[in-house]
């Protein structure tokens, strides 16, 4: 089945550091990938939709200058948390749909393993 890989799985760094998270579709091409954030005991929150070759679409309330998204190829999207602060500590998860077997609206999302970000 479709596999999405996310790296790194865990990041601990000082306040003010910028952190880059990679999301790769390993066995399929993804023109669209999704970035979520999840705080403890809360539901997934969609941050942005990453579009290959064009600008990402951000959800309301998500600062695009804070969370930089680059989707330069059909298998890789990156999320950079710029000048991270303790309040950015969270679980970041990416996902993508495998469209080889059907149209977009009928396909489930496949998630990466997630990145647990801790800012000291």
Partner 1 sequence: RKEVEQDPGPFNVPEGATVAFNCTYSNSASQSFFWYRQDCRKEPKLLMSVYSSGNEDGRFTAQLNRASQYISLLIRDSKLSDSATYLCVVNTNAGKSTFGDGTTLTVKP
Asked whether position 113 contacts partner 1 by CB under 8 A, the answer is yes
Question: Buried (b) or exposed (e) across 95-111, using 16+ Cβ within 10 A?
Answer: bbbbbeeeeeeeeebbb
How many residues contact partner 1, by CB under 8 A?
Answer: 20
Bond prior to 8 in cis (omega within 30° of 0):
yes
* Residues between 20 and 49 that touch partner 1 (CB under 8 A): 32, 34, 43-44
Task: Using only the alpha carbons of the chain, give its radius of gyration.
Answer: 14
Closer by beta carbon to partner 1, 18 or else 42: 42
Q: Give the dihedral sign, CA 19/77/34/96.
A: negative
Asked whether position 90 contacts partner 1 by CB under 8 A, the answer is no
Phi-psi region at 68: left, alpha or beta (left = phi > 0; alpha = psi -120 to 50): beta
Binding residue for partner 1, selected from 17, 70, 89, 107, defined by CB under 8 A: 107
Binding residue for partner 1, selected from 14, 53, 87, 106, defined by CB under 8 A: 106
Asked whether position 93 contacts partner 1 by CB under 8 A, the answer is yes
Binding residue for partner 1, selected from 96, 112, 117, 119, defined by CB under 8 A: 112
Query: Which residues are at the interface with partner 1 (CB under 8 A)?
Result: 6, 32, 34, 43-44, 91, 93, 97, 104-114, 116
């Amino acid at each position: 089945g479709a596999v999405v890989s996310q790296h790194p799985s865990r990041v601990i760094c000082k306040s003010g550091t910028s952190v880059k998270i990679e999301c790769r579709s390993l066995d399929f091409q993804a023109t669209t990938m999704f970035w979520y954030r999840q705080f403890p005991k809360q539901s997934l929150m969609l941050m942005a939709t990453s579009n290959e070759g064009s600008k990402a679409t951000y959800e309301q309330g998500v600062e695009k200058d804070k969370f930089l998204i680059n989707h330069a190829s059909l298998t890789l999207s990156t999320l950079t948390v710029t000048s991270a602060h303790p309040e950015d500590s969270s679980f970041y998860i990416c996902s993508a749909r495998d469209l080889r077997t059907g149209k977009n609206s009928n396909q489930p999302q496949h998630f990466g393993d997630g990145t647990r970000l801790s800012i000291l």
